[in-house]
């Protein structure tokens, strides 16, 4: 009597997942080489950047801070989404500021510690760019008006510039409440962005600074200004 299981046909689709994983694993060595090269480049640049900062005397140590003074801190973050419905796009953007554990003598924010934008827009492939730009403008505005000594933000200094540039490119052809809101707030975005350009970029400095070190503010300006 033959085993009926031995005659069962195996669907070719059962092999898809395994073959997919096998293909990914076959590229591990190549990916490892790329990552190794990248890490070496970062190590070389880290010493170069640190030398530049030390030579310009931009690096300070927290041991020199006044320990009797209480410093306050807050964190700024945002989120955005575009929900593509049957007849419209639901465009959502928001940002919030959260106080740290240290009490603030002036706990009231100059503006509310959160801001949002929600609106139904016509279907448009650029709606996500608009939503992301609105979110970043809100984050920057909260950061520049927060009543704290230290304001922490996610991302690098170039993040807001890159994504806002994508949205600004649609100013001429874009229509809808989201585009109009972005145009109305664009001046505030530029003012806020200019203000934070004197601050630290953790994405780079986390590679070059040691424990307890920080940099003094550096004013970014054109030589022709």
pLDDT at 118: 92
Tell me, yes or no, if the pTM score tops 0.75.
no
Burial track 179-213 (b if 16+ CB lie within 10 A, e otherwise): bebbeebbeebeebbeebeebbbeeebeebbeeee
List, in order, residues 6 or more apart from 104 with CB less than 8 Å away.
Answer: 72, 147, 148
Do residues 83 and 92 lie in contact, with contact meaning Cβ atoms separated by under 8 Å? Answer: yes
Tens-level pLDDT at each residue, the chain (225 residues): 555 555 556 565 556 677 777 777 777 778 888 878 877 777 778 888 888 888 888 888 888 777 777 778 889 999 999 999 988 899 999 999 988 876 556 566 666 688 899 999 888 888 888 899 899 999 998 888 888 888 888 777 777 778 888 787 776 666 678 878 888 888 888 888 888 777 666 666 777 888 888 887 766 555 554
Strand, helix or coil for residue 86? coil
Of 113, 158, 155, 161, the residue nearest 137 (C-alpha): 161
List, in order, residues 6 or more apart from 68 with CB less than 8 Å away.
Answer: none
**Token reading at 1:** 């009597």
pLDDT at 225: 45
pLDDT at 173: 66
pLDDT at 150: 82
- d(C-alpha 169, C-alpha 194), whole Å: 20
pLDDT at 73: 85
The position carrying tokens 């591990």 is 28
pLDDT at 110: 63
pLDDT at 218: 67
Domain boundaries, the chain: 15-57, 67-203
């Amino acid at each position: 009597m033959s085993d009926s299981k031995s005659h069962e046909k195996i669907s070719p689709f059962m092999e898809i997942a395994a073959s997919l994983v096998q293909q990914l694993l076959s590229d591990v060595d190549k990916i490892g080489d790329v990552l190794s090269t990248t890490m070496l480049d970062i190590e070389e640049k880290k010493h170069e950047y640190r030398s530049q900062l030390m030579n310009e005397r931009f690096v300070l140590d927290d041991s020199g801070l006044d320990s009797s003074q209480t410093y306050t801190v807050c964190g700024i973050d945002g989120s955005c989404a575009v929900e593509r419905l049957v007849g419209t796009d639901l465009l959502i953007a928001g940002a919030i500021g959260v106080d740290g554990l240290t009490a603030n003598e002036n706990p009231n924010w100059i503006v509310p510690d959160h801001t949002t934008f929600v609106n139904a827009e016509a279907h448009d492939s650029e709606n996500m760019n608009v939503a992301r730009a609105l979110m970043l403008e809100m984050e920057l505005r909260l950061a520049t008006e927060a009543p704290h000594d230290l304001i922490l933000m996610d991302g690098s200094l170039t993040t807001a510039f890159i994504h806002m540039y994508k949205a600004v490119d649609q100013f001429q052809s874009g229509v809808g409440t989201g585009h109009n809101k972005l145009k109305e707030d664009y001046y505030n975005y530029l003012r806020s962005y200019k203000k934070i350009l004197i601050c630290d970029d953790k994405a780079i400095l986390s590679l070059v600074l040691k424990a307890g070190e920080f940099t003094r503010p550096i004013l970014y300006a054109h030589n022709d200004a």
